[in-house]
Chains A and B, each alone.
Chain A
């Protein structure tokens, strides 16, 4: 038998292993374990949907409300200050105008 024939015979024997492949022994606890995994997954998804999501929603709402309150109070303050500024400017203009009138009168 030459080398090539020997190799071919070994290859044939090796490929025969497809027919003698090891088959796993049945696992009697398989279904129970699948059930346990499903329950664990449902529990974790319950925590996510029933606890974490509402909590996140509340946090977001709180942020939104506080931002809105802060914005409104800031704009009110700005309005007040701009009004008082306007009054001050007008009054100072009025005063300067009065002094001009006085000067004119003297002359």
Chain B
């Protein structure tokens, strides 16, 4: 049986990156990943098999990230409401994103593509987004995804198929308007 420290060291990279795919912010991703391992620590005695444990760790990471997004969506909605009733508009300027380090055409195009794919991913239903993040970004196999998401392998395949189809149509619509 691995020690807690070994478990953290073995999984922290993937957990942090998985959280980051959802929240897109380093500090929030780190916070969420730490919470994941706190929960792991509290329930460590229930797990004997390493495979069962790792699947469970990524499931917690996905669930915590989705919860975080739901909470921030609620906060955003509340902020919109308070903004509507606010009369003073001081300090409301939108943040301008910083340019990339070196700024040749390729970098600009790449960062534009990244932004576009992230926006398209955000528009996918939660389960399709999770399937595609785990498969495409984190390189999990369909069987592993099925264990993390607690669904069958064929359901994962169907989700990935629909996710790709939806992404394609979202991107098609975007480029049709912007080319």
Contacts and interface: CB of A to CB of B under 8 A. Distances in A.
Contact residue range for chain A? Answer: 20 to 34
Interface stretch (B8-16, B57-65, B74-82): B8-16
A33 interface: yes
B16 A11 contact: no
Nearest to A29: B30
A17 B117 contact: yes
Given A10-B113, A15-B167, A31-B5, 4 more contacts: A17-B117, A20-B110, A24-B29, A34-B8
Interface stretch (B91-99, B148-156, B168-176): B168-176
A95 interface: no
Contact of B117 (A14, A23, A33): A14
Interface of A: 3, 6-7, 10-11, 13-18, 20-24, 26-27, 30-31, 33-34, 37-38, 41
Given A23-B17, A24-B20, A30 B30 contact: yes
Contacts of A23: 17
Contacts of B16: 24, 27, 30
